[in-house]
């Protein structure tokens, strides 16, 4: 049987924060061709330009082009992408993020190739992104053979935007549960771990504010904040100003294997997600799924897909966004009650293996994509 060939289009070639896209690239039972380099792609997976240099460069700066040139440039580049899809024998396009889908659905139609679009977070919430691409989502939804949302809240939002119920699928991310050795939080000191980008919607400053209260009550408490982003330097300075420079560690981004090893030495996992001033919001944070897979109880906020993963009072503790004191209280509860931390962590690991195993979730994704692949497309 011939392996199906699909084209995955992503804005970035690779990113510390896009492990879910990497899983799609490498974990689907298909021959995956990759295009990348912006919402409309510029590069092929071989490192070659998708379009001739003048056209590709012009398409990437379309918004700054004189208005009379925009439609001809868009048409020429769409036809170039359509030609690639036909020549490469692609049977389906998987567009990572809504704006990618909005940029490529015409080319997919001209190539006669079905399109599946996978929403992840900012593409459904951030105001600037929605101002630029929201008006184009109805046309995208009319064409897409499958639309995928990673949280129940996002599913509802996309329905409100006009996504058809019969082609909209709720599918949370998965974690490579075999990578994570089960921790025993009761054996760990009162050390807590946060993993993620240092950006507004993850509110790392509020995590620090909560930990300051924890450390004041329990001087042996420690916090490790893994990741990078625009707020990392300011958070490091803030930790110093709070007198926490010696008890909060900022190692930067780490490989998954090192993060998995760190988790075995922690009492719990923390994340203070909220809706940013820009409107940006989480989808479903993969790090929270991974923490559960490692057997760590989670202290997080009642935000977006977090509530789909963390069972309050069973696999972790949830507090309202912005409630640093509530977060500190939950962390102290775990710090002072090792048995509770282990009980919650065990429940989290069991839940991750049942509901969020990466192989299972990729299998479910492929079932959606394979059904979309068989959809007839009107050119």
Q: How confident is the model at residue 321, as a pLDDT?
A: 98
Asked if 87 and 219 sit in the same domain, the reply is no
How large is the average pLDDT for residues 195-224? Answer: 98
Asked if 128 and 208 sit in the same domain, the reply is no
Say yes or no to pLDDT of 247 above 60: yes
Q: How confident is the model at residue 18, as a pLDDT?
A: 84
**3 burial via Cβ count (<10 Å: 0-12, 13-18, 19+):** exposed
Asked if 12 and 159 sit in the same domain, the reply is yes
Asked if 156 and 261 sit in the same domain, the reply is no
Whether 28 contacts 362, CB under 8 Å: yes
Give the C-alpha separation, 353 to 17, whole Å.
22
Asked if 149 and 215 sit in the same domain, the reply is no
DSSP state of 166: G
Number of domains in the chain: 2
Which has the closest alpha carbon to 207: 221, 194, 222? 194
Give the C-alpha separation, 94 to 105, whole Å.
10
Q: How confident is the model at residue 291, as a pLDDT?
A: 98
Asked if 285 and 195 sit in the same domain, the reply is yes
Determine the structural domain holding residue 276 and report its residue range: 177-355
Average pLDDT, the chain: 95
**Reported pTM:** 0.95
Asked if 294 and 160 sit in the same domain, the reply is no
Asked if 145 and 281 sit in the same domain, the reply is no
* CATH number of the domain that residue 271 is part of: 3.40.50.2000
What are 88-114's pLDDT values in tens digits?
999 999 999 999 999 999 999 999 999
Asked if 229 and 166 sit in the same domain, the reply is no
Asked if 200 and 145 sit in the same domain, the reply is no
CA dihedral 73, 76, 81, 85 (to 10 degrees): 160
Output the six-digit token pair for 96. Answer: 């990572």
Give the C-alpha separation, 357 to 160, whole Å.
29
In a domain, 185, yes or no: yes
How large is the average pLDDT for residues 37-56? Answer: 90
| Higher pLDDT, residue 12 or 202 | 202
Buried/exposed code over 50-75 (b: 16+ C-beta within 10 A; e: otherwise): bbeeebbebbbebeeeeeeeeeebbe
In a domain, 378, yes or no: no
Q: How confident is the model at residue 377, as a pLDDT?
A: 66
Q: How confident is the model at residue 362, as a pLDDT?
A: 98
CA distances from 122 to 142, 201, 284, 328, 337 (A): 21, 10, 11, 28, 37
Give the C-alpha separation, 220 to 227, whole Å.
23
What are 306-325's pLDDT values in tens digits?
999 999 999 999 999 999 99
In a domain, 379, yes or no: no
Asked if 134 and 196 sit in the same domain, the reply is no
């Amino acid at each position: 049987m011939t392996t199906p060939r699909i084209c995955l289009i992503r804005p970035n070639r690779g990113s510390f924060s896009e492990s879910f896209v990497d899983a799609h690239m490498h974990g689907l039972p298909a021959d995956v061709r990759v295009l990348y380099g912006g919402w409309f792609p510029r590069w092929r997976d071989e490192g070659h330009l998708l379009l001739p240099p003048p056209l590709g460069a012009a398409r990437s700066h379309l918004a700054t082009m004189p208005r009379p040139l925009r439609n001809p440039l868009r048409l020429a580049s769409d036809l170039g992408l359509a030609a690639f899809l036909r020549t490469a024998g692609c049977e389906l396009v998987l567009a990572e993020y809504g704006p990618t889908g909005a940029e490529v659905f015409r080319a997919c139609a001209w190539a006669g190739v079905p399109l599946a679009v996978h929403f992840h977070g900012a593409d459904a919430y951030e105001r600037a992104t929605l101002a630029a691409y929201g008006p184009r989502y109805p046309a995208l939804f009319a064409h897409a053979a499958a639309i995928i949302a990673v949280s129940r809240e996002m599913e509802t939002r996309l329905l409100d935007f006009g996504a058809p119920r019969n082609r909209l699928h709720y599918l949370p991310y998965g974690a490579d549960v075999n990578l994570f050795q089960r921790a025993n939080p009761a054996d760990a000191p009162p050390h807590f771990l946060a993993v993620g980008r240092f950006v507004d919607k993850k509110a790392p400053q509020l995590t620090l504010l909560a930990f300051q209260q924890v450390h004041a009550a329990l001087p042996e408490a420690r916090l490790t904040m893994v990741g990078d982003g625009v707020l990392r330097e300011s958070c490091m300075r803030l930790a110093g100003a709070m007198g926490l420079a010696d008890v909060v560690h900022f190692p930067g981004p780490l490989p998954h294997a090192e993060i998995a090893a760190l988790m075995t030495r922690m009492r719990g996992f923390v994340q203070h997600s909220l809706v940013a001033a820009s409107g940006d919001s989480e989808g479903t944070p993969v790090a929270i799924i991974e923490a559960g897979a490692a057997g760590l109880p989670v202290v997080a906020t009642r935000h977006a897909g977090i509530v789909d993963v963390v069972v309050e009072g069973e696999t972790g503790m949830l507090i309202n966004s912005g409630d640093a004191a509530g977060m500190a209280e939950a962390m102290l509860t775990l710090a002072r009650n090792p048995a509770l931390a282990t009980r919650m962590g065990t429940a989290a690991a069991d839940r991750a293996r049942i509901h969020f195993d990466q192989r299972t979730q990729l299998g479910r994704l492929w079932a959606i994509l394979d059904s979309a692949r068989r959809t007839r497309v009107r050119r």
